[in-house]
Amino acid sequence: MSKQIGILGAGSWATSLSVLLAKKGYLVRMWSILPELASEINETRKNESFLPGVEVPSGVQVSVQIEQVLEDVEAVIFGVPSHAFREVMIKAKPYLPGGAMVVNVAKGIEEDSLCRLSQVFAQEAGPEMIKRYVVLSGPSHAEEVGREIPTTVVSSSSCMESAGYVQDLFMCEHFRVYTNPDMTGVELGGALKNIIALGTGIADGLGYGDNSKAALMTRGLAEISRLGMALGANPLTFAGLSGVGDLIVTCTSMHSRNRRAGIAIGQGKSVEQALTEVRMVVEGVRTTRAARQLARNLRVEMPITEQIHRVLFEGLSPAVAVKNLMTRGKTHEME
């Protein structure tokens, strides 16, 4: 009998992972909060709203009843936006089968609590459950994974046996999975790169070139590493898939919602107009506010994040933000 996997969420990333798992022979049940989306996928085998052009195998069934989705599954994949993770976790908790692995694929920091999502999970499920919690992260646009374009990601957990389970669950000829024990670093790399992608998008919208983008990515990685180390992460993680790897793909691709939103802002559109134009969740906006507060709490210098915060929430002109960064006081690169 095929193993059963539950996926909470039916957006682009959740759908692409459901396709991958179904093609590996798993029975996949996916939860959608939208009845019309559940009907669309079940009846047409398409998710044109979030993952157009990709056929969803018959091994994937979608329900609006979370208890049906989670019945007798051996793994639960949380594919909801980071700001909804706690709410969905609370809703799912009564139906989580004992012993089921929990895999989170969202990238963000909870805005009110400033918690990483593994911390949110521990608060809601209990600290003893953290060994069954795994983060899947890395440079992985859903649009490409759904089309079986070769992709490489990282599975991270405080329990390497759990990380290995998720590695085996997803790994196939077009989707390679490494393991990493530094869950703090993996979570932060995946979340914070979205801020820098907003920045590179803004630079593109202003008409700047490759030099500007390279500078933002490089100095952005320095900021990510500084905050990560202050929170106990291994600095080597930021040189890996969930660090520089995810940073590259998110800052350079038009698949990136954060970059596309940044381009619109750089072209003079308001934040609200930019988000409406992108149509899907732009994680970097909320993450910018959370990261800026974390940096201030820990006295970590994050000048790019600070300027992007001022653009997003204080009405600062993007061109002035660039000038502020370029005219800062002299520093050593290794500081």
281-301 burial code (b ≥16 CB/10 A, e <16): bbbbbbbbbbbbebbeeeebe
124: CB partners within 8 A, 6+ apart:
86, 89, 90, 93
Phi, psi of 322 (to 5 degrees): -65, -45
CA–CA gap between residue 322 and residue 201 (Å, rounded): 13
CA–CA gap between residue 83 and residue 65 (Å, rounded): 21
Q: Is there a catalytic annotation at residue 193?
A: yes
CA dihedral 75, 76, 79, 84 (to 10 degrees): -160
322: CB partners within 8 A, 6+ apart:
203, 206, 208, 212, 307
Strand partners, 116: 109
Marked catalytic residue, from 46, 193, 213, 323: 193
Radius of gyration over alpha carbons of the chain, in Å? 19
Beta strands in 163-209 (DSSP E): 175-180
DSSP state of 53: T
Catalytic residues: 193
